[in-house]
Amino acid sequence: MMAAATIERALNPASAPLRNGVFVAVVGPSGAGKDTIMDFARDALRGQPDFHFVRRVVTRPSTVDAEDHDSLGEEEFLAAQRAGAFCHCWEAHGLRYGLPVSVDQKVEQGAVAIANVSRGVLPALRQSYANFIVVHITASPEVLAQRLAARGREDAEEIKRRLMRAAPNPCDPSDAVMIDNSGEVAVAGSAFVAVLRKSSAFAAVSEQI
Alpha carbon separation from 26 to 43, 82, 154, 177 (Å, rounded): 17, 26, 23, 10
Q: Is residue 127 part of a domain?
A: yes
> Which stretch, 6-20, 57-71, 87-101, 167-181, has highest mean pLDDT?
87-101
Q: Specify the pLDDT at position 160.
A: 54
The answer to whether 73 is annotated as binding is no
Q: Specify the pLDDT at position 184.
A: 94
Q: Is residue 36 part of a domain?
A: yes
The answer to whether 128 is annotated as binding is no
Q: Is residue 136 part of a domain?
A: yes
For residue 121, is pLDDT > 80?
yes
Q: Is residue 98 part of a domain?
A: no
Q: Is residue 102 part of a domain?
A: no
Q: Is residue 76 part of a domain?
A: no
The answer to whether 29 is annotated as binding is yes
Domain that holds residue 28: 2-54+110-208
Domain tally for the chain? 1
Alpha carbon separation from 25 to 10, 64, 149, 175 (Å, rounded): 12, 24, 26, 12
The answer to whether 152 is annotated as binding is no
Q: How far apart are CA 50 and CA 52, in angstroms?
A: 7
Q: Is residue 148 part of a domain?
A: yes
Q: Specify the pLDDT at position 165.
A: 59
pLDDT in tens, 90-109: 998 789 999 999 999 999 99
The answer to whether 155 is annotated as binding is no
Q: Is residue 23 part of a domain?
A: yes
Query: The CATH number of the domain where 40 resides is what?
Result: 3.40.50.300
Q: Specify the pLDDT at position 9.
A: 44
The answer to whether 28 is annotated as binding is yes
Beta strands in the chain (DSSP E): 22-27, 51-53, 57-58, 70-71, 86-92, 95-100, 112-116, 132-138, 177-180
> Which stretch, 67-81, 113-127, 159-173, has highest mean pLDDT?
113-127
Q: Specify the pLDDT at position 156.
A: 59
The answer to whether 35 is annotated as binding is yes
The answer to whether 94 is annotated as binding is no
